[in-house]
Amino acid sequence: MRELFDEVVGQSPLDPQEAARRSARTPQRKRFYAKADVIEADGGFAVTLDGRPIRTPSGRIVTAPARAIAAAISAEWEAQPETIDPLTMPMTRFANSVVEAVVDRAELVAEDIAKYFNSDLLFYRAGHPEGLVAREAEHWDPVLFWAADELGAHFILAQGIVHVRQPAAAIAAARAALPDDPWSIAALHVVTTLTGSAMLALALLHGVRDHDEVWAAAHVDEDWNASQWGEDEEAAERRAARLVDFRAAAEIIRVMNQNQRGAA
């Protein structure tokens, strides 16, 4: 079981696209278990395969902080047919990576997210055509207005790609709005890397935008080009693959927010 689990989930959530590429190159294995289930464990809920808890490559039991997360992982294993397909198991990959690589270094992952506040996607705007300018403003301005009004983070916008130095106070204010629990910060990192925007990730975390709105906002320029010149089939396939990991991360954020509200 360990070899298969390493292949399925032995990649970091810090680069979900690379994890998917490696999983695609991995020879698929036969399903070796009859039933996946969820049990209570120290610190949360564990997933078992025929009664044996799944573990990370280093031997740690994969323990989720919420039953809903463990149930989603279990469902991925339960849904596997005769041959196991790692690409259909984003929650499992994510959970392994959090337990293996993020639990002991959540602060470092948060700092990696914070680097995006220096050059976030939302700060760099098109100067033309008017239709694209309007779409960017429609999708991006509300997030930046919220950051300014609610977080006190006032960022500078620019046209084109020439780097603009952002105020230290704005970066610090946005950084302070990041969570500190490993599962939320790891999910936020996945959203940030897949969208190119820590501001959109923050908007999702704080309920300013839902996951569909965040995904659309992250692809304003891409969708505009597709509407003008037609959709590129290979690009569409890559986007669909990224969406799988994005949805898994968004679900983690939703569940963790729900848990925190319940504990308050």
Domain boundary among 48, 80, 102: 102
Q: pLDDT for 83-121, tens place per residue?
A: 998 889 999 999 999 998 899 899 999 999 999 999 999
- What type of residue is 104? D
Distance CA 46, CA 204 (A): 27
CATH code of the domain in which 167 resides:
1.10.3580.10
Of the candidates 128, 186, 125, the residue with the CA atom closest to the CA atom of residue 155: 125
pLDDT tens by residue, 131-172? 999 999 999 999 999 999 999 999 999 998 889 999 999 999
Distance from C-alpha of 37 to C-alpha of 51, rounded to nearest angstrom: 8
Same domain, 81 and 118: no
- Asked if residue 113 lies in contact with residue 13, where contact means CB atoms within 8 angstroms, the answer is no
Counted domains in the chain: 2
> Residue ranges of the alpha helices (H) in 38-105?
67-78, 90-97
CA 28-34-35 angle, to 5 degrees, is 105
How far, in Å, CA of 158 to CA of 190, rounded? 26
pLDDT confidence of residue 230:
86
Range of the domain at 63: 2-102
Query: Is there a contact between 207 and 257 (Cβ–Cβ < 8 Å)?
Result: yes
Q: Are residues 147 and 38 in the same domain?
A: no
SS3 at position 49: strand
Q: What is the pLDDT of residues 205-262, one digit of tens each?
A: 999 999 999 999 999 999 999 999 888 889 899 999 999 999 999 999 999 999 887 6
Question: Do residues 197 and 239 share a domain?
Answer: yes
d(CA 185, CA 109): 7
pTM (2 d.p.): 0.89
**Same-domain pairing of 58 and 120:** no
Query: What is the per-residue DSSP string for 197-233?
Result: -HHHHHHHHTTSS-HHHHHHHHTHHHHHHHHHH---H
User: Which tens digits make up the pLDDT trace of 6-57?
Assistant: 444 444 445 555 554 554 555 678 899 999 999 999 889 999 999 999 998 8
